[in-house]
Amino acid sequence: MNQDRLRLDLADLADEVTPVDLRDRALRTSRRLGIQRAVVTSAAALAVLAAATGTALAIRPDGQAPAPAVPSVTSTPPPSEASPPPSAEPSRTASASPSTTTGGGPASVAIGRLFYGPTPTGDDTSAAGYLWSYEPGSPPTRLAKLPRLAAILNAAVSPDGRRVAWVDPDDNLRVADVDGDNPRKLTPGGHRQVERDCWTPVWSPDSRRLTISVVLRPEPAPAWEKGVVELNTGTYTRLAGIKGCHPLWSADGTVLAYADGEGRVAVNRPDGSAEKLIPGVGGSGARSSFDVASISPDGSRLALLLRKPDEPAGDVARELDANAVIDTRTGRQVDLPLGGRTLRQAWFGADGRLVARVNAGDHNVLVLIGADGRKISESREPAALKDLQILQLAD
Amino acid sequence: MDPLLSEFDSFVRTRTPALLRSAYLLTGDQHLAEDLVQSALARTHRSWGRLHDSGNAEAYTRKIMYHLQVSWWRRRRVAEAMPGDLPESRGGDSGPDHAQQITLRLTLRAALARLSTKQRAVLVLRFFEDRSEVEAAEMLGVTVGTVKSQTSKALTKLRTVAPELADLYVTEGSAR
């Protein structure tokens, strides 16, 4: 190949780009990075953090990022790691907190205990991201107070519903009881920082281990390594051969599923030794997916967000919305008995049941579907939970 | 205005066009290129206190940019959809040479979209920015051997996915 010609043609191709002024956008992103760093040192910063949903959420290929409601910033202080935190009155009340008196349909104990957290688009502008639990027949319960960004991006409740893991704004891995008691900071394999956007913490089915991605080297030349840490002993095992984001671990312990970031979805053994791509998702297919939400106990079905070719792909931040359940062997979509209603989220229980969350105007409805695919019952979700997202369906 | 901010403004406004050109070749998309440069500039801004008088601000920004592009979850669906996405005409010459150049550009753009992010990065570093193998390795945080092998793979893949491009280059090259 004539490399001089290649040089000329690359230069010609580069002429296609339209110059734009990125000054204000760069400063806004910089400010969000600063807020994330400042938040651990000042409670005053928390109210601002609630408005700025974080860098990862702000970077979208279509340029239509949810514009963070950073309070009227017209100039940015000189950059410094020691920048004073933005002044703002901390919000002490969770303004959009689900009311314990709202909603409540017919009790359906079979659905089980659901855990909820904030969404990037929720109306809640309070500083913290609270974890909630809800079981049909009982009012929602407010649990641990987490950094809002962590609650949105990476908080994960253990399958037994006892503990929550998250990555704080300083990239530290933390674990606590779901009510916030007994907080611990973990350093898997001696690494102080873990990844918080892509390979986010995920619990093993026995709720004793977490798969995480440790930061081997920070910016400007970052490097990560995936691994599994045992909570009781601290034992850390490196995971090789896996490239992807947003892992799910099947209840029988045999399957890890994850999005590969190119629109495909893979299923693999937990040791990374047998990766298979799900047919018909990504590649030249008409559907792609960058966000997987829940996996059936044996890894045969997956709840995920499928996108058509003309849909913006979003960014690395996790999305737990699901618009389909597919068979992981064939890629075929599984019919759900939803009566034509739009699926918002879908969570598998350890026994194979599926809780489908569908839109019903000012509230959502939880549809309980058996492992055989038949509808068992429905339950009206309290309207106060409408703007939260389900993070886990506990055993 | 704060002198540091004023310096940063000046840096952004003078260097953004060049950064965007590289970012466009890396991503194949205007919006992705803007996102990439914006993210890199934001990190440069965070470190401006120590960068501003070092003379290394652009190198730092480019390094961040390449790492974000190669390491991040960069969703390539937009880029992969590009082959059917005709560029807007810039007007001017519309003769046969211009039409041929447009076709060539389309083909090259589509072919680049088929490369991995790392292969694309080494091609841009080596043949657009004219970096040496050592410089490219330093920029990407990999060995020179990796740069060599990725460059070779990238050129082979270009030939494979766009044989007409390779034919054209070879024909024109041999005629010189």
Looking at the domain assignment, is residue B117 inside a domain?
yes
Residues of B within 8 A of A63 (CB-CB) are 31, 34-35
Q: For chain A, give me the number of helices (H) and strands (E)?
A: 5, 23
Tell me the pLDDT band of A81, cut-offs 50, 70 and 90: very low
Does the pLDDT at position A43 exceed 60? no
- Kindly tell me if the per-residue pLDDT of A202 is higher than 80: yes
CATH label of the domain that carries residue B62: 1.10.1740
Query: Does B78 reach chain A within 8 Å, measured CB to CB?
Result: yes
Domain termination residue (choose one: B71, B103, B128): B71
Based on the fold, state whether residues B63 and B103 are members of the same structural domain: no
Q: How much is the ipTM here?
A: 0.81
**Domain with B140 in it: what CATH number?**
1.10.10.10
| Residue-averaged pLDDT of chain A | 79
Residues of B in contact with A154 (CB under 8 A): none
Q: Which residues contact A179 (CB under 8 A, 6 or more apart)?
A: A143, A144
Collect contacts of A351-355 with beta carbons under 8 A, ≥24 apart.
A351/A297, A352/A296, A352/A297, A352/A298, A353/A110, A353/A112, A354/A296, A354/A303, A354/A325, A355/A111, A355/A112, A355/A114, A355/A390, A355/A393
Scanning B12-51 for CB atoms below 8 A from A yields: 12-13, 16-17, 20-25, 29-35, 37-39, 41-49
For residue B79, is it within any domain? no
Nearest Cβ partner for B31 among A4, A7, A61: A61
Mean pLDDT value across residues A159-181: 95
More confident residue, A343 or B91: A343
Looking at the complex, report in whole angstroms how far the Cα of residue A117 sits from the nearest Cα belonging to chain B: 24
- Between A102 and A388, the more confident residue is A388
Q: Mark yes or no for CB contact A221/B67 under 8 Å.
A: yes
Tell whether B87 is within 8 A of chain A (Cβ): yes
Tell which of B45, B89, B103 to mutate to test the A interface (max A CBs under 10 Å). Answer: B45
Q: Confidence class of residue A35 from pLDDT cuts 50, 70 and 90?
A: low
Mean pLDDT of A148-168: 94
The answer on B103 and B169 residing in a single domain is yes
Question: Do B67 and B114 sit in the same domain of this protein?
Answer: no
Contacts of A301 (CB under 8 A, 6+ apart): A295, A325, A326, A327, A328, A334, A348
Do A162 and A177 touch, CB atoms closer than 8 A? yes
Here the contacts of A219-222 (C-beta below 8 Å, separation 24 or greater) are A219/B43, A219/B64, A219/B67, A220/B43, A220/B60, A220/B63, A220/B64, A220/B67, A221/B63, A221/B67, A221/B141, A222/B67, A222/B71
Average pLDDT over residues A76-81: 32
Nearest CB to A29 within list B12, B39, B141: B39
d(CA A189, CA A226): 11
B-chain residues within 8 Å CB-CB of A30?
A: 41-43, 45-46
CA-based nearest residue in chain B for residue A29: B42
- Token output for B136: 């490219």
HSE of B47, CA atoms in CB hemisphere, 13 A: 17
Confidence of residue A13 (pLDDT cuts 50, 70, 90): very high
pLDDT digits (tens, 9 = 90+) for A93-138: 333 333 333 334 444 448 999 999 998 665 555 557 899 999 998 9
Q: How far apart are CA A42 and CA A65, in angstroms?
A: 27
Label the pairing between strands A113-118 and A256-259. unpaired
* Alpha-carbon gap: A29 to the closest alpha carbon of chain B (Å): 6
Q: What pLDDT, in 10s, does the model give residues A160-169?
A: 999 999 999 7
Domain coordinates in residue numbering, chain A: 3-58, 109-394
Question: Which of B77, B104, B128 is the best substitution to test chain A (most A C-beta atoms within 10 A)?
Answer: B77
Percentage above 90 pLDDT, chain A: 55
Q: Are residues B8 and B67 in the same domain?
A: yes
pLDDT band at A221 (very low <50, low <70, confident <90, very high): low
The domain tally of chain B equals 2
Best mutation target, B73, B108, B127, B169, to test chain A (most A CBs within 10 A): B73
User: Fold for domain A109-394?
Assistant: Neuraminidase (2.120.10)
User: What range does the domain containing B126 cover?
Assistant: 94-175
pLDDT at B24 over 90: yes
